[in-house]
């Protein structure tokens, strides 16, 4: 038995020991929460792993049975509706795409748009709810030696994190005869196959680059597209003119200087919704609808998915004074004013409408007729329909690539060809020139074959 005073002293000492242990544990925990750990936690929810499947031909110039090849890459969510940016080479010529999010959800994905030269593409998934979007940084104030992190699906090891520094800026890199890059970020953070399309992140957890290439036979030399450059391309890839056939007519300018990230109006096309709304040069656009706007990509996201006639509320600052304008989107008339791929300097060709059947004859050298869903040719296949080849012009692109009468055309590029409207969609696509040579799929004797046909230009 201890005297009462001794008991109180012992109890106090025990409580002190427990408190010191808790404090020590908290200190250890806080030491583990490094800036790198916090950066990864912030960025990771917006990063997805991409798994692809494509058919590789084993040789020959005509149809050949191909072997399935699995690919891998990484993507970053740029819009909560499931729009994801990645490298074009990750999704080029794929038969299918599967996206897995950080929380383990898996979705089929479709290619929405791409820029082959800039090696960027937008894919989309139909997610069960809003997806976390990239924490946006800027590449305008990067410093040599700055710590950066690369996150991605390295060699199929999902959500891999590597660390390093910015080794150099403004690197021009030639990968092969067909692909070269300008103004890349060089980093010694380990980048491996599968990292392509994933983010390069600073210690604030902000995306400052999109990993794109590695130096063969070198150690810790990787490259990333600066995020400011990438966001300008993303804005074009999300353009409502190309994806929704609507227009706003705003010509804007990204202003990015360190922490200053702004989107300003340069001008408004004559007769456009932007002009009717009262937007003028110099206006700082801060919000469209519910979307906070920091650059052109945000502006296009805010308009994306809205139909012609929809009125959007635009918050601006004009000479420092906040104002609210209303802009009514309009249907796109005529040809799009800009191309997703590199713009041509030639004036647009006058558009003359001709029937889809005649266009396939002039462009491919095939005559097609609709195939009924119930016909025996589709029994036991995955196809909902197709177009029967009823004629092939001698020495035409179709003839040279082995298409025969009786073949069933079931797909062009990424889309099925159930009817002539499907064919017209492909032939009228603003990126048609970037599809060339155009990949096609036919059903012959119950077997799916594919090839690539060089498309000839013709009137619409």
Residues annotated as catalytic are 89, 119, 196
Return all residues near 256 (Cβ < 8 A) that are at least 6 apart: 138, 139, 140, 228, 262, 295
Closest CA to 54 of 7, 16, 92: 92
Q: How far is the C-alpha of 297 from the C-alpha of 236, rounded, in Å?
A: 8
DSSP 245-313: SEE--EEEEEEEETTEEEEEEEEE-TTSHHHHHT--TTPEEEEETTEE-SSHHHHHHHHTTPPTT-EEE
Return all residues near 451 (Cβ < 8 A) that are at least 6 apart: 62, 63, 401, 402, 403, 439, 440, 442
Distances (CA, A) of 329 to 73, 304, 432: 36, 10, 25
DSSP 405: T
Note the residue count of the chain: 460
Q: How far is the C-alpha of 389 from the C-alpha of 213, rounded, in Å?
A: 42
Exposed, middle or buried, 384 (CB in 10 Å: 0-12/13-18/19+)? exposed
Cis peptide before 437 (omega within 30 of 0): yes
Q: Which residues pair with 368 in a beta bridge?
A: 389
- Encoded tokens for 216: 């063969």
Q: Which residues pair with 287 in a beta bridge?
A: 292, 315
Output the CA torsion 166→340→365→452 (10° steps): 20
């Amino acid at each position: 038995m201890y005297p009462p005073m001794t008991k109180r002293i012992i109890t106090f000492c025990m409580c002190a020991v427990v408190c010191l242990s808790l404090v020590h544990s908290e200190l250890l925990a806080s030491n583990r929460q490094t800036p790198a750990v916090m950066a990864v936690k912030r960025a990771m929810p917006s990063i997805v792993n991409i798994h692809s499947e494509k058919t590789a031909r084993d040789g020959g110039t005509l149809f050949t049975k191909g072997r399935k090849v699995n690919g891998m890459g990484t993507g970053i969510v740029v819009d909560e509706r499931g729009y994801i940016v990645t490298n074009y080479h990750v999704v080029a010529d794929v038969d299918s795409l599967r996206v897995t999010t950080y929380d383990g959800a898996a979705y089929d994905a479709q290619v929405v748009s791409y820029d082959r030269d800039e090696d960027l593409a937008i894919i989309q998934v139909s997610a069960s709810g809003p997806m976390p979007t990239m924490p946006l940084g800027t590449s305008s104030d990067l410093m040599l030696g700055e710590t950066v992190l690369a996150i991605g699906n390295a060699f199929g090891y999902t959500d891999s994190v590597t660390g390093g520094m910015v080794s150099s800026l403004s690197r021009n890199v030639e990968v092969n005869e067909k692909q070269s890059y300008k103004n890349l970020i060089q980093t010694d953070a380990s980048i491996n196959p599968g990292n392509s399309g994933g983010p390069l992140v600073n210690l604030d957890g902000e995306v400052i680059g999109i990993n794109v290439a590695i130096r063969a036979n070198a150690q810790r030399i990787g490259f990333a597209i600066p995020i400011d450059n990438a966001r300008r391309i993303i804005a074009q890839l999300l353009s409502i003119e190309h994806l929704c056939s609507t227009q706003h007519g705003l010509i804007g300018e990204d202003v990015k200087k360190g922490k200053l990230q702004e989107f300003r109006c340069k001008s408004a096309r004559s007769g456009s919704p932007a002009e009717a709304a009262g937007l003028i040069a110099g206006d700082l656009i801060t919000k469209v609808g519910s979307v906070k706007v920091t650059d052109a990509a945000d502006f296009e996201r805010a308009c994306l998915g809205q139909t012609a006639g929809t009125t959007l509320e635009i918050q601006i600052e004009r000479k420092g004074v906040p104002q609210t304008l209303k802009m009514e989107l309009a249907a796109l008339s005529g040809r799009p004013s800009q191309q997703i791929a590199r713009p041509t300097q030639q004036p647009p060709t006058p558009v003359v409408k001709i029937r889809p059947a005649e266009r396939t004859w002039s462009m491919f050298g095939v005559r097609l007729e609709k195939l009924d869903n119930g016909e025996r040719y589709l029994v036991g296949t995955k196809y909902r329909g197709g177009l029967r080849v009823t004629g092939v012009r001698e020495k035409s692109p179709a003839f040279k690539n082995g298409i025969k009468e009786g073949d069933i055309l079931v797909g062009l590029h990424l889309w099925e060809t159930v009817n002539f409207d499907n064919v017209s969609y492909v032939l009228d696509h603003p990126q048609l020139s970037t599809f060339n040579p155009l990949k096609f799929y036919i059903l012959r004797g119950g077997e799916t074959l594919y090839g690539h046909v060089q498309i000839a230009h013709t009137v619409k």
